[in-house]
Chains A and B, each alone.
Chain A
Amino acid sequence: IVMTQSPDSLAVSLGERATINCKSSQSIVYSYNNKKGLAWYQQKPGQPPTLLIYWASTRESGVPDRFSGSESGTDFTLTINNLQAEDVAVYYCQQYYTTPYTFGQGTKLEI
């Protein structure tokens, strides 16, 4: 399954909203729970990725509620409200519906 993110990079002002998109090449709906196997990660330089969102819209424990995920069909969106300086990072979507698990190419978020 190919995951395609857009844009490749974006610059957003502090306090504003950032929107990152991800599209899967096919359906990633689990039949047993009708949920989509889609996760979002944040990766800062020199650090491993951090899980932000899973099941497309469930926020991981400890993740600020400024981060939210949504979906429609095979289109997925990560929204970061009230952008903070510490949000500068590369963001990846990942499908875990089937192996090989695949990531989007990443979106670089700058202030």
Chain B
Amino acid sequence: QVQLVESGGGLVKPGGSLRLSCAASGFTFSDFYMSWIRHIPGKGLEWLSFISGSGATTHYVDSVRGRFSISRDNSKNLLYLQMDGLRVEDTAVYYCARPRVSGGGNFRHWGQGTLVVVSS
């Protein structure tokens, strides 16, 4: 079955960087757009970015554009989120998510999440 496992979260100081990874299995990874979504404690869910199956197309929400970069390695079934210039308000649980169908925008499959804490 579909499995998504995030890693790479942790404690980082404001202005610092982290790279999150998401290991995918149970489906043909390269066939699917993939997204990163975060859950800010006490607030809600925020979709951050998607990348097409080939990696040629990416899109970001304004709040992270220019600071975060999504990428993928289809040979390893890995999705990445490079996060630079981290801010306190980026503190959240970060999920990778796969849509129901390849290019869709509703998310049937989610990882368990990785916690990122930005604090001095």
The chain B residue with its CB closest to the CB of A5 is B44
Contact A39:B47 (CB < 8 A) given known A48-B112, A54-B100 = no
The answer to whether A103 touches B110, judged by C-beta atoms less than 8 angstroms apart, is no
How many contacts between A and B, using CB within 8 angstroms? 59
Measured CA separation A99–B112 after assembly (Å): 24
Return chain A residues, CB-CB under 8 Å to B62: 100
Contact A92:B45 (CB < 8 A) given known A49-B107, A60-B108 = yes
The answer to whether B61 touches A51, judged by C-beta atoms less than 8 angstroms apart, is no
The answer to whether B105 touches A101, judged by C-beta atoms less than 8 angstroms apart, is yes
- Total chain A interface residues with beta-carbon distance under 8 A: 23
Return chain A residues, CB-CB under 8 Å to B111: 48
Contact A101:B112 (CB < 8 A) given known A37-B105, A49-B107, A54-B106 = no
Docked complex: A81-111 residues within 8 A CB-CB of B: 92, 94, 96-97, 99-106
- Total chain B interface residues with beta-carbon distance under 8 A: 24
The chain A residue with its CB closest to the CB of B111 is A48
From B44, B105, B107, B112, give the contact of A105 (CB < 8 A).
B44
Question: Does B29 sit at the interface, judged by CB under 8 A?
Answer: no
Contact A94:B44 (CB < 8 A) given known A48-B111, A51-B100, A100-B62 = no
- A54 CB to closest chain B CB (Å) equals 4
Return chain A residues, CB-CB under 8 Å to B35: 101
The answer to whether A94 touches B100, judged by C-beta atoms less than 8 angstroms apart, is no
- B15 CB to closest chain A CB (Å) equals 24
Residue positions of B touching A, CB distance < 8 A: 35, 39, 43-47, 50, 59-62, 95, 97, 100, 104-108, 110-113
